[in-house]
Chains A and B, each alone.
Chain A
Amino acid sequence: MLTPNTFFWEPDIVSAGTTAANPQLQFFENFPAHAGAAYAGFSNGTLSIHAVNIPLSISFNNVVALMSVSSAALSALSGTIQFGLYSLNAATLSLANSASGAVAEGGSANSWYSMVTSATQNISPGAWYFGVNFFTGGIATDHSSASFYGNSSINPGNAIPIGFLMGRVTASTNAMPASIATSDLDRTGSDAIRQQYIIITA
């Protein structure tokens, strides 16, 4: 079992209880209660990374995103959605696991898209980093017909002034990097802080 960094927060604890077996989540979503804000476009091949705090262990079997794909006025869309689970050590993100899935034209508006993981893993509690990427193999404008459900488009003028929480890789990619230096990530602007709604289920 991989061990991540320390918690961002601690749950409320009144007094120490008896030690329990390792409790498991049935699912984890980065937006509690599905509380995303809107669908937002995604720059082709731009890897977006954001931090989450997973409170209990969870079996990493299915990764699901919510997307809206329009087929109007476009030729055949052939897209791939990728997910990367990263841990952070000092200033380096390291790929712990990954998943990918196909996105095709003709899907209904507002559909779930699932991704298959590359390896079985039981994710331990703590801080992890979700990497999300989407790219198309068709014409360059294909990706504009796809958008992810996520947070709202806030556009701060400066980077968040604490440790790394979110950012994006500036160069387009069609694969999850094995490691990323956080200093190489763009952390300013709406694209940098955009977070896609992700659910991991056992």
Chain B
Amino acid sequence: MGQLIFNNNLNYIGPQSNLTYLNGSLSFVPYTIFDSISLGTFNILYRSKVATGGTHTLSLGLYSLTGSTLTLANSGSLPISVTGIHWESITTWSSTQNISPGTWFWGFLFSTNVSSLADLFGVKTIGAANAFPGGFIGGAMSESTNALPSSFATSNIDSIGLPELMIPVIILNS
């Protein structure tokens, strides 16, 4: 197997939806990597509605899935205090990692000291009325949290509804 220079989950930046994340809500987003890639810079397209003097913090976890358990493999964080649409990046991680090919899951946890919400740009099209009947493909924790769990059972994740399965644009650079 070789090494990727970058990995883009959508392969294009086109007309997309605003994906709104709630304070304290942890969402798990699938991310397929077709070859190995060094965990370098994590990039998202962010639209902040931070009020004057406010700060958003994104706590980001990289999770592997074994059976029905998500396990935290790496983590980083990003304080954001600007408004408007920006590329935002995380470059510092809890450990050095060369990510192996396969399906991974990013855990997105936003927190804020103001009431404003955070938007990412991405795809928001699936609003099924029932839980996904196959293996785990992503979702959101039903209860709010203030920290990334080291492990989490997929049976405790909600996959019903439009926000639960939305996919932000994620570009990873080595």
| A contacts, CB < 8 Å to B | 11-20, 23-27, 29, 32-36, 55-56, 61-64, 66, 108-114, 149, 199-202
Q: Mark B26-51, 1 if CB is under 8 A from A, else 0.
A: 00001010111000000000000000
Q: Size range of the interface on B?
A: 35 or more
In contact, A112 and B133 (Cβ under 8 angstroms): yes
In contact, A27 and B30 (Cβ under 8 angstroms): yes
In whole angstroms, what is the CA distance A13 to B37 when docked?
A: 10
Q: For B2, list chain A residues within 8 Å (CB).
A: 11, 13-17
- A24-B102, A56-B101, A62-B133 given; A14·B122 CB < 8 A: no
Q: For B125, list chain A residues within 8 Å (CB).
A: 34-36
The listed residue (B36, B101, B130) touching A112 by CB distance below 8 A is B130
* Distance to closest chain B CB from A49 (angstroms): 22
The listed residue (A25, A26, A108) touching B136 by CB distance below 8 A is A26
Q: For A16, list chain B residues within 8 Å (CB).
A: 2
The listed residue (A18, A108, A114, A202) touching B133 by CB distance below 8 A is A114
In contact, B135 and A202 (Cβ under 8 angstroms): yes
Q: For B35, list chain A residues within 8 Å (CB).
A: 11-13
CB-CB nearest in chain A for B102: A23
In whole angstroms, what is the CA distance A1 to B128 when docked?
A: 33
CB-CB nearest in chain B for A20: B1
In contact, B3 and A23 (Cβ under 8 angstroms): no
Q: Which of B127-143 contact A (CB under 8 A)?
A: 127-137
In whole angstroms, what is the CA distance A32 to B9 when docked?
A: 8
In contact, B126 and A34 (Cβ under 8 angstroms): yes
Is B72 an interface residue, CB under 8 A from the partner?
Answer: no
The listed residue (B30, B34, B130, B134) touching A111 by CB distance below 8 A is B130
In contact, B167 and A15 (Cβ under 8 angstroms): no
New A-B contacts (7) at CB < 8 Å, excluding given A27-B30, A109-B129 = A20-B36, A23-B100, A33-B9, A111-B129, A113-B133, A201-B136, A202-B135
Is B5 an interface residue, CB under 8 A from the partner?
Answer: yes
Q: Which of B1-33 contact A (CB under 8 A)?
A: 1-6, 9-11, 30, 32
Q: For B1, list chain A residues within 8 Å (CB).
A: 17-20, 23
Is B115 an interface residue, CB under 8 A from the partner?
Answer: no
In whole angstroms, what is the CA distance A36 to B167 when docked?
A: 12
